[in-house]
Amino acid sequence: MTLPRTRLPVPGRPADVEPGPTLEVVRRTAPGEPGADLLHDVSVARAATVLVEALREAAGPVRTLLAGLTAFRDVQPGGRLEPVLDLAWQRPRTADEALARFAHLAGARDDADLARLGFGPKIWFTTNGVPVTWRPLTGPGTVPSVPPAGERAARPSEPTAEADRQEAARTALEGAGLTVGEALRVQLGDLGRLAPGTVFVPDLLAEPLLVRCVPETPLQPGAPASGTAGGRRLAVLSHRGRIAVLSAVLARHGLDAGCRQPHVPVLTQS
């Protein structure tokens, strides 16, 4: 799945974000929000534009993007994002180093708070052509806000436990904006992340964890298809939602199921 107008040279500075309706939507999405001033930076505007074009519901993720980038900017020498991105284009591994340093300086209360703060810089690096690791960040003093997916999946595979996991996963998918029908059609290969060029890559363990879905109502002939690929769009699972979906998948299919069985549904239709 490749989204329009987003393939960037690596390394290299992206082209200016094209003026137009999408950029205006981005600017209307976060008026007065902390970090809204960052939208004057072309790299931040590009990240926000990708979210608006790609996601089912973009307002919340754009706010999270700006909040995380504000916190990330505030711990950089000189309080500027541009030098960080310039260096990452030259030496991509410095992006992960910057994220690790940010995790230790962010002052997050728990892993959910750190995941929320890390969303912004991960999306920002990726949509500007820099490969970065989409895995949970760890910081000093952060504690799990919910049991890790592995622990939840290790519960006895009794019918009640399985039903609970399925219901939690279903609730998580619907909480991300999917309808009941869309949630039932999500397959293991539809869980993943973005890579530079804003290509969707299946990856069960990604954080943030994105869901690729097919709308129940097909696009009408002549309707704008911005942000879609074959009618598909993306949704972002919350931190708790990611844990719930992972728990259901790991308990039923195992860790490498996404590679072995990409077309297996996440939910059972019982």
Residue 183: inside a domain: yes
Range of 92's domain?
A: 21-127
Higher-confidence position of 221 and 46: 46
Residues 94 and 176 in one domain: no
What's the pTM? 0.83
Structure tokens at 119: 């969303």
Instruction: Give me the chain's average pLDDT, please.
Output: 81
Domain termination residue (choose one: 127, 160, 180): 127
pLDDT in tens, 101-139: 999 999 888 899 999 999 999 999 999 999 999 999 998
Helices (H) and strands (E) in the chain, counts: 11, 4
| Cα→Cα distances 133→8, 27, 58, 181, 195, Å | 18, 28, 22, 32, 10
Cβ atoms of residues 47 and 123 within 8 Å = yes
Residue 132: inside a domain: no
Residue 270: inside a domain: no
Residue 137: inside a domain: no
Residue 174: inside a domain: yes
Residue 246: inside a domain: yes
| CA separation for the pair 151, 250 (Å, rounded) | 10
Domain termination residue (choose one: 74, 95, 127): 127
**What is the count of structural domains for the chain?**
2
Residue 36: inside a domain: yes
Residues 172 and 111 in one domain: no
Residues 123 and 153 in one domain: no
Residue 143: inside a domain: no
pLDDT in tens, 174-230: 999 999 999 999 999 999 999 998 899 999 999 999 999 877 665 444 443 334 344
